[in-house]
Structure 1
Amino acid sequence: MQQEVLKAEKLNKYFYEPATTQVLYDISLSIGEGEFVSIMGKSGCGKSTLLYLLSTLDTSYEGTVDITGVRVTGLNENDLAGFRNEHIGFVFQFHYLLPEFTVLENVMLPALKLGKLNREAIEQHAMDRLRQMDMHEHAKKLSGKLSGGQQQRVAIARALINNPRIIMADEPTGNLDSANTAIVFSIFNQLVQEGNTIIAVTHDHDFARKSTRILQMADGRLTL
């Protein structure tokens, strides 16, 4: 039986400026270990807003979110930051690498912040992750010198450095050409085979069709 790694119940979300507007309506879902879930829908339907709630980056909502058996709803910011760093890896449409740092240094940063390993062990683990992305030969380069596809692969390596249970991805292939999109999907698929759980917001129908489950959204509600 597939172990549940994320559960959300009756999530409602409001924006209050310039006027009170409800953007998510009674969303409940359960995601199991090793699932690759794509969230799809038209622009403005609430899919990225939902991802931010599920990832604990947005804490202003009604309802509850449990991740790896922990009720994260209601935790203070310090506890949430620590939980995110240990259990969730993030991949965004924009890679958010620090251009003045090397590829290796960028990948090491979340592990240095977590502080569970010494620097030598973190560096070795970071190199292992870069090797997994076929980016190890670029480890000493400044990240700003890489192509867009290469930078996204480095961002994935950074997301994996703390061995998270869940990878949250917001339009991870939105800025990539078809060749690099295929590379990113291949990486994600391999991660799922290794037991990772991936939740990805995407507009790419081809990408979504290859995931294990699609959640369709419209007007702030799950429709499928």
Structure 2
Amino acid sequence: MKVLSASHINKYFYEPEKFQVLKNISFEVRKGEFLSLVGKSGCGKSTLLYILSTMDTDYEGILEMNGEKLTGKTQDQLAAFRNEHLGFVFQFHFLLPEFTVLQNVMLPALKLGKYSAKEVEERAYQKLKLVDMDGHALKQSSKLSGGQQQRVAIARALINDPTIIMGDEPTGNLDKKNSEIVFNIFKQIAHENHQTIITVTHDPDFAKGCDRIIEMSDGQIIKS
């Protein structure tokens, strides 16, 4: 089943002069696929990820997700769509240091307003268990190691059962051991929970273990 379709995506930067960053990008992603975007710095992969994540709407072409056309929607409509259908894991975890692990994971679900506070708490515990962090639920997030914080960030990304999880260099700040832990969590999420994962990575070992690699060069897909 197709969950994402990008058709003829073109993107320009205008400062200091007009420059085409993405050139006629078209591809589809299926449900449960674990996919990495790779390529040298400056090839356009992060720019593409921001368009796919609906954060950047200044592009030409058509973006569809879950059978819904996202191109042309308002910022408010896109924000609502993102909260329900997309989970994000960045290079830096962006946890709120004064909150507990549990509170951090619960936040996106409380914002969505689909479940009662008690249900949200139960769901948060489930997601923390998935990343083996349920034993740390009541700790302040600032008291955790970098690898633990990234696992909590993954649990937070999963709380609303998103259609797609987007990762921007999710292991970029981690050592080899913690990178492997994060990779294995992603693989489990994709293959057992059938959630789609799209990551940008510079880590060749991470990319090699994915179901599919899309390689970019000079704003174009050269291998998919």
| TM-score interval, normalised by the smaller of the two chains | over 0.9
Large movers: runs of 4+ above 6 Å = none
- The whole-number CA distance in structure 1 between the counterparts of 2:98 and 2:59 is 36
- The whole-number CA distance in structure 1 between the counterparts of 2:107 and 2:132 is 19
Letter in 2 for 1:191: I
Deviations 1:118-175 (A, max 9, x none): 1011011001111111111111111111110000000000000000111110100000
Letter in 1 for 2:5: K
Partner of 1:42, secondary structure, is coil
> Is 1:10 paired with 2:12?
no
Partner of 2:149, secondary structure, is helix
- The whole-number CA distance in structure 2 between the counterparts of 1:60 and 1:109 is 29
Letter in 1 for 2:114: K
> Is 1:213 paired with 2:212?
yes
- The whole-number CA distance in structure 2 between the counterparts of 1:20 and 1:203 is 27
- The whole-number CA distance in structure 2 between the counterparts of 1:144 and 1:159 is 18
Task: Provide the TM-score with structure 2 as the length reference.
Answer: 0.98
- The whole-number CA distance in structure 2 between the counterparts of 1:149 and 1:94 is 11
- The whole-number CA distance in structure 1 between the counterparts of 2:93 and 2:19 is 30
> Is 1:175 paired with 2:173?
yes
Q: 1:201 Cα shift?
A: 0.4
> Is 1:98 paired with 2:112?
no
Partner of 2:120, secondary structure, is helix
Q: 1:18 Cα shift?
A: 2.0
**Which residue does the alignment assign to 1:196?**
195
Task: Provide the TM-score with structure 1 as the length reference.
Answer: 0.98
- The whole-number CA distance in structure 2 between the counterparts of 1:168 and 1:214 is 14
- Which of 38, 47, 58 is the matching residue for 2:36? 38
**Which residue does the alignment assign to 1:166?**
164
Partner of 1:85, secondary structure, is helix
Aligned length: 222
Q: Which runs of 5+ in 1 are unaligned?
A: none
**Which residue does the alignment assign to 1:116?**
114
Indicate the RMSD between aligned Cα atoms, in angstroms: 0.7
- The whole-number CA distance in structure 2 between the counterparts of 1:145 and 1:78 is 35
Letter in 1 for 2:112: L
- Which of 129, 132, 135 is the matching residue for 2:130? 132
Q: 1:62-77 residue pairs with structure 2 within 5 A?
A: 62-77=60-75
Q: 1:19 Cα shift?
A: 1.7
Deviations 1:68-106 (A, max 9, x none): 000011110111011011111111001111111111111
